[in-house]
Amino acid sequence: MWQKKLLDRWLRTMDVCAFSIRFWDGRVDSYGKGKPKFKLNIKNKKVLGEILRQPSIGFGEAYMRGDIEIEGSFEELLKIFHGTGQYTQPNSLLGKVPVFFTWLKQKNRLGQAQKNISHHYDIGNEFYDLWLGKERMYSCAYFKKPEDSIDTAQTQKIEHICKKLFLKKDETLLDIGCGWGGVIINAAKKYGVKSHGITLSKEQHAVVTKRISDEGLKDQVTVEIVDYRELVKRGIQFDKVVSIGMFEHVGKENIAEYMKVTDKLMKSGSVGLLHTIGKMHGTMTDAWIQKYIFPGGYLPGIDEITTLMAKQSFRLRDVENLRQHYAMTLDLWLEEFEANLDSVRKMFDEDFIRMWRMYLLGSSTGFRYGNLDLWQLQFTKGLRNDLPITRDYLC
């Protein structure tokens, strides 16, 4: 009973939409005013203790195993999570133990970094093929119209980035964390650059290698499994450097080193683009996300990024926030994920399905209603006065 009372007291302090909770014993409590947007069914009494001890992990694990069911709008429920600030770290000793191990993973040393990446990206290309789209771009798309398909929006994102890099024929382009090769392959084909991609995912490397061969680009595009910190030891430099959706995996303690390495990899006067999820103030990713989705993740603050850029020879030219674009991207990914559940069930169990549903919808909600941002930072190594002074070149 004390757990119910504590939960009730906590929820009644919030300014939330109308909803109700049905407990395992049949009791129903209602909150907010108006017609309920959802009903939360708690089917097991141990769930309350889990949520009160570690809200994010407790709720997420209970939903994954089916001890929590949602009737009505799951998005409205997740909006409450994103609006309450309840993801602050727990104060109890019991709650701090998993946080400590999360911190160890977040340090992203060389060996740990590859393990963290494999946890998420090496679960099978067949799974990602079901919902990412033809380019397998696992990062924020770029929408010129709300009705753009995921393939159209991802093609537009690639072009948007290539324009920001001012690519020219025979220049060298490095993609740090190249994913399934969308940028390095399309940049080579359209702009005639010589592209090199690096990744820590064996599954992604296999796909990119095959794509390069199938499209006859072996003389123009290369890819390898290597950490950016190892690549710099070769003393090579590039005309242009891009990183898309990789920076979130670097870890807070490695941001300064990442900037130093990137500086060394860029020729004087070269142009770079950093495309990353972030916040106004940096934080570790949510505890449930750390445990089940992205171990080692850290969402940098815009101030952290720009401060550490300034300690190198970088000059920041342009910052664009594509927050709403990422919410739209995630909406389409989730739509395709749900449309292909029969195929997903042949690969994974129901716990996995519920985990990914909550991850995709929770992320969309975070970008649309919470404090998640998607930054594109365009910068140069050294001062450049010969580049366009308006954004007209992006049109």
What does DSSP assign to residue 382? S
Of 30-34, 49-53, 122-126, 157-161, the poorest mean pLDDT is in 122-126
- Specify the pLDDT at position 10: 79
- Specify the pLDDT at position 89: 38
Q: Does domain 2-88 have CATH number 3.30.1050?
A: yes
- Specify the pLDDT at position 87: 37
- CA 75, CA 364: separation in Å to the nearest integer? 9
**Domain 110-394: what homologous superfamily?**
Vaccinia Virus protein VP39 (3.40.50.150)
Quick check: do 2-88 and 110-394 share a fold? no
Q: Is residue 178 over pLDDT 90? A: yes
- CA 222, CA 194: separation in Å to the nearest integer? 8
* CA 4 and chain centroid, separation: 34
Of 16-25, 43-52, 66-75, 112-121, the poorest mean pLDDT is in 112-121
If DSSP codes are grouped into helix, strand and coil, which group holds residue 360?
Answer: helix
Size (the chain), residues: 395
If DSSP codes are grouped into helix, strand and coil, which group holds residue 276?
Answer: strand
* C-alpha pair distances (Å), 212 with each of 47, 95, 135, 180, 207: 49, 47, 13, 11, 9
One-letter identity of residue 274: L
Mean of pLDDT values over 281-309: 91
- Specify the pLDDT at position 88: 39
pLDDT band at 114, cuts 50/70/90?
low
Mean of pLDDT values over 192-196: 98
Task: Tell me the domain boundaries of the chain.
Answer: 2-88, 110-394
Mean of pLDDT values over 328-332: 98
Closest CA to 224 of 204, 249, 244, 242: 204
- CA 196, CA 351: separation in Å to the nearest integer? 38
164 versus 16: which is more confidently predicted? 164
Burial of residue 214 (number of CB atoms within 10 Å: 0-12, 13-18, 19+): exposed
Q: Is residue 202 over pLDDT 90? A: yes
Q: Is residue 138 over pLDDT 60? A: yes
Looking at the DSSP bridge assignments, the partners of residue 321 are 375
28 versus 117: which is more confidently predicted? 28
Looking at the DSSP bridge assignments, the partners of residue 378 are 273, 318
Of 140-154, 228-242, 256-270, 282-296, the poorest mean pLDDT is in 282-296
Q: Is residue 85 over pLDDT 60? A: no
pLDDT band at 90, cuts 50/70/90?
very low
CB atoms within 10 A of CB 156: 17
One-letter identity of residue 131: W
- CA 343, CA 77: separation in Å to the nearest integer? 28
Mean of pLDDT values over 225-251: 96
Both tokens of 123, joined, read 């679960």
Compute the CA torsion angle 85, 88, 91, 92 (nearest 10 deg): 90
pLDDT band at 216, cuts 50/70/90?
very high
3-state helix, strand, coil split of the chain in percent (to 5) is: 50, 20, 30
- Specify the pLDDT at position 120: 66
What percentage of the chain reaches a pLDDT higher than 90? 77
pLDDT digits (tens, 9 = 90+) for 343-388: 999 999 999 999 999 999 999 999 999 999 999 999 999 999 999 9
Closest CA to 239 of 275, 265, 209: 265
- Specify the pLDDT at position 99: 47
Mean pLDDT score across all residues of the chain: 90
Compute the CA torsion angle 352, 349, 337, 346 (nearest 10 deg): 150
CB atoms within 10 A of CB 163: 15
One-letter identity of residue 154: Q
Mean of pLDDT values over 37-63: 93
What does DSSP assign to residue 174? E
- Specify the pLDDT at position 111: 57
Q: Is residue 315 over pLDDT 80? A: yes
Q: Where are any strands of DSSP class E within the chain?
A: 19-22, 28-31, 38-42, 68-72, 172-176, 194-199, 221-225, 238-244, 266-278, 283-284, 298-299, 314-321, 373-381
